Structure 1
């Protein structure tokens, strides 16, 4: 089986789970209006966009809270001030989105896989990603909770994908050779195939199906084609 065929298997992407109706503000949107947008829309952050819907940055609740944290306290400027403290003080004094936002923004695209988006969130230590089209315009936003929605898929949907996509379309396995059981996203594969490489590939592809939590691969095989055949190994001169 040609393992390059793995890449053609359709799995959920960012575009399948992102929020398309995104609340936004502009560079000159004032502090109070940003607070109003967050509370009215029930979100914790908003992208800052220009007239072409290109994302310039993101204003989050954390950016806005600096003003509340410093309220009523005497201004104390230190000779040696950390970049983080200096940035927090600047946001506490800011009045417009352009001065409150965190920039440059960390973004993604609708075609990105959910694992790739999750890794980006973790690596950059952010809670959401503005989603851009091919021209760099905002088309959605995805957060941690959105990525978890893939695990709300039913066991029946997951099993159907494994049977239709993995076994029938990619591996061309005849019906009845492999059984698929799914419970709470945990997949058990059983049966018998002719080659070990096909068994291994079935397990790897099943693990890539959207919503799968764990794969137990109990498929047996007739021949182990993953090790060289001694009869075909050329002797070293």
Structure 2
């Protein structure tokens, strides 16, 4: 069975609040050796996320732009001394990226990994049905799942994807795995069994790809297995 975020998330979350000062945010990141943290309101609902990138952007880029506007200069022409003289952003609410990209504990790990990739984030706050913070999942947490051995993946494919096929079809399926790519070989009873086997295999954590070598078993008296390309109604009368 595919694993879910609730199984790998960290429940002891380092967090900031709206009014947390810049220096305290930096101190939290350094003390806990993390590269980002969620920001919550007084009801523990996630309102944003702060990353090291956010801190660098607000501590350096934004002051330079503000000072450049003040002195009618381009950022490149503004001296470091003048930039340093401009007041810096001071609270977590001003530093954070918002709205936060979040996930729920029952979401599949593979789906969460796609969310991370799509939004270009390194961590996902995990929230309950009321959007309250209950954990956090990092890219490292998710990668541990995708570093499963080929033997582990093969056993799960056999125990879930193949096992859910009709008994006659399941007996005809052989599974091999190399570098996370699953090869399905053999003959099954129906086209729908092929589609089901491929779909369920893709849902197994750690599967990087599926090579479909399944075909439809020949029936007694037929010249051979029906082509997997044939559609109902094809052929000559």
**Structure 1-normalised TM-score?**
0.76
Equivalent position of 1:47 in the other structure: 38
Q: Partners in 2 of 1:103 and 1:92 — Cα distance? A: 22
Cα shift at 1:138: 0.7
**8 Å Cα contact 1:196-1:224 kept in structure 2:** no
Map 1:119-158 to 2 at 5 A.
119-158=114-153
Equivalent position of 1:99 in the other structure: 94
Equivalent position of 1:15 in the other structure: 6
2:151 is equivalent to residue 159 of structure 1: no
Q: Alpha carbon RMSD of aligned pairs, Å?
A: 3.3
Cα shift at 1:45: 0.9
State the SS of the aligned residue for 2:42. Answer: coil
2:200 is equivalent to residue 205 of structure 1: yes
Cα offsets for 1:48-106 (capped at 9, x unmatched):
11233211211211222235426996922168x9xxxxxxxxx9721111222222212
More displaced stretch, 96-105 vs 215-224: 215-224
Q: Partners in 1 of 2:35 and 2:116 — Cα distance? A: 16
State the SS of the aligned residue for 1:206. Answer: helix
State the SS of the aligned residue for 1:51. Answer: coil
**8 Å Cα contact 2:170-2:188 kept in structure 1:** no
**8 Å Cα contact 2:21-2:91 kept in structure 1:** yes
For structure 1, list consecutive stretches of 5 or more residues without a partner in the other structure: 1-9, 82-90
Equivalent position of 2:232 in the other structure: 228
State the SS of the aligned residue for 2:155. Answer: helix
Equivalent position of 1:190 in the other structure: 185
Kindly tell me the number of residue pairs found equivalent between the two proteins: 216
State the SS of the aligned residue for 2:38. Answer: strand
Cα offsets for 1:16-60 (capped at 9, x unmatched):
332222110112211111111101111111111123321121121
More displaced stretch, 96-105 vs 144-153: 144-153
State the SS of the aligned residue for 1:75. Answer: helix
Q: Partners in 1 of 2:62 and 2:16 — Cα distance? A: 24
Q: Partners in 2 of 1:200 and 1:183 — Cα distance? A: 21
**Structure 2-normalised TM-score?**
0.76
2:68 is equivalent to residue 76 of structure 1: yes
Greater CA radius of gyration, 1 or 2? 2
Q: Partners in 1 of 2:227 and 2:63 — Cα distance? A: 73
Q: Partners in 2 of 1:132 and 1:170 — Cα distance? A: 35
